[in-house]
Amino acid sequence: MTAAGGTSPGVADLRREEVVLPGVPSLGRLYARGAAASGRLVLARRFGRGPVDLPEVAYVVAGVQADAAHLTAYQHLLGETASDVLPAGFVHVLAFPVATAVMARPDFPLPLAGLVHLANEITQHVPLRLGQAVDVRAWAQGLAAHRTGTTVELVTEVRLAGPARELREGPVAWRGVSTYLAKGTHLVRGGAGDDGGAGVADGVEGTGGADGRSGSGSGARPAFVAPVPTARWELDAGTGRRYAAVSGDRNPIHLSAVSAKALGFPRAIAHGMDTAARALATVGAERGDAFTWSVEFAKPVLLPGSVAVRVAADDGPGGGWTYAGWHPRSGKVHLTGSVRPL
């Protein structure tokens, strides 16, 4: 059987063992399980053991449906029109716990606790609407060396559930690739002196004075020059808690200064996908039904805080829109990305 979606990985997909979950798992429980697994992993590494390859599995959940109240809360928070079309970032919220379940497995080679979200690319092939049931399929791929550790891609595919509910029946409607970095874990040797551009992984240590951007030394990425802003986000101390409420992602680094401090951050930080989704909402209805929405995260946004933002049409060959968010005074970049119609 072949998947009709143009971006489906085909052969590689088939060699994965399929694990069908009864429903979308809770992120809170996955984090707890992942934290325990991370502890064991750190211990095993110390003795030169522990998994070094990605598990050859794909997790599948069938018949996932959005809840209207949940959708409305998400749309209101992120500045989206409360239409019946699911925003691309909302589908991420809906489906991503399935990918997290892969990362929480005992045989996942990177510690879930402390993973840094470097980049995200979502392709919305066809709009998904409230009331439509979807099948979610997620796996990990692309373990790669990074100058400070190892990166991995978590791929999530969402298909419209067929009338007979056969899995993987329809074409891919939505596909997300989330790139994470495990700092200090070096599983893949050599080759990756420059690491595919994700560049700044300041998620953990880089929140202090020294900026990883200038310290990267690779020189592959041009320094960020703050453009003329078109908007400004005033993000109060509750920003992380509000996004946690609509995303289910209650990672302590987002919730409060106290819980973030316990994990090494001076204050709580904004969810990356919160900021990227705000930029997508600002592009607005002009983005159309089918588009690729990508983001690269640099320095985390400390809460409370202001972000200077530019969202503007891209006159280059790529078309669509590009966006950037940066610290209004220091000019240090928080995120950059684009929205390109298909």
Partner 1 sequence: MAATGSPAPTPRTDASPRRALVLGGNRIPFARAGGKYVRASNQDMLTAALDGLVARYGLQGERVGEVAAGAVLKHSRDFNLTRESVLGSALSNETPAFDLQQACATGLETVVLLANKIRLGQIESGIAGGVDSTSDAPIAVSDRLRRVLLDLSRAKSPQQKLAALARLRPGDLAPSVPRTSEPRTGLSMGEHQALTTAEWGITREAQDEIALLSHQRLAAAWDAGFFDDLVTPYRGLTRDANLRADTSLEKLATLKPTFGLTLDTPATMTAGNSTPLTDGASTVLLGSQEWADAHDLTPLASVVDAETAAVDFVHGVDGLLTAGVFAAPRLLARHGLTLDDMDYVEIHEAFAATVAVTLGAWESDEFCRTRLGLDGPLGKVDRSRVNVHGSSLAAGHPFAATGGRIVATVSKELARRKAANGDDRPVRALISVCAAGGIGVTAILEAA
Cβ nearer to partner 1, comparing 173 with 309: 309
- Say which amino acid occupies 257: A
In the complex, minimum distance from the CB of residue 261 to partner 1, in angstroms, rounded to a whole number: 21
Q: What is the largest CA-CA distance in the chain?
A: 57
In the complex, minimum distance from the CB of residue 140 to partner 1, in angstroms, rounded to a whole number: 36
Cβ nearer to partner 1, comparing 234 with 316: 234
Long-range CB contact pairs, 10-14, < 8 A, 24+: 12/141, 13/58, 13/139
What is the dihedral angle through the alpha carbons of 23, 292, 243, 150, rounded to the nearest 10 degrees?
Answer: 80
Cβ nearer to partner 1, comparing 196 with 229: 229
Cβ nearer to partner 1, comparing 174 with 233: 233
In the complex, minimum distance from the CB of residue 227 to partner 1, in angstroms, rounded to a whole number: 9
Cβ nearer to partner 1, comparing 114 with 305: 305
Cβ nearer to partner 1, comparing 51 with 238: 238
What is the dihedral angle through the alpha carbons of 259, 260, 262, 266, rounded to the nearest 10 degrees?
Answer: -140
In the complex, minimum distance from the CB of residue 285 to partner 1, in angstroms, rounded to a whole number: 11
In the complex, minimum distance from the CB of residue 104 to partner 1, in angstroms, rounded to a whole number: 31
Cβ nearer to partner 1, comparing 116 with 311: 311
In the complex, minimum distance from the CB of residue 247 to partner 1, in angstroms, rounded to a whole number: 18
Distance in angstroms (rounded) separating the CA atoms of residues 27 and 31: 6
**And the tokens for 51?**
């998994």
In the complex, minimum distance from the CB of residue 87 to partner 1, in angstroms, rounded to a whole number: 15
Residues of this chain that bind partner 1 (CB under 8 A): 79, 228-234, 238, 282-284, 308-313, 321, 328-329
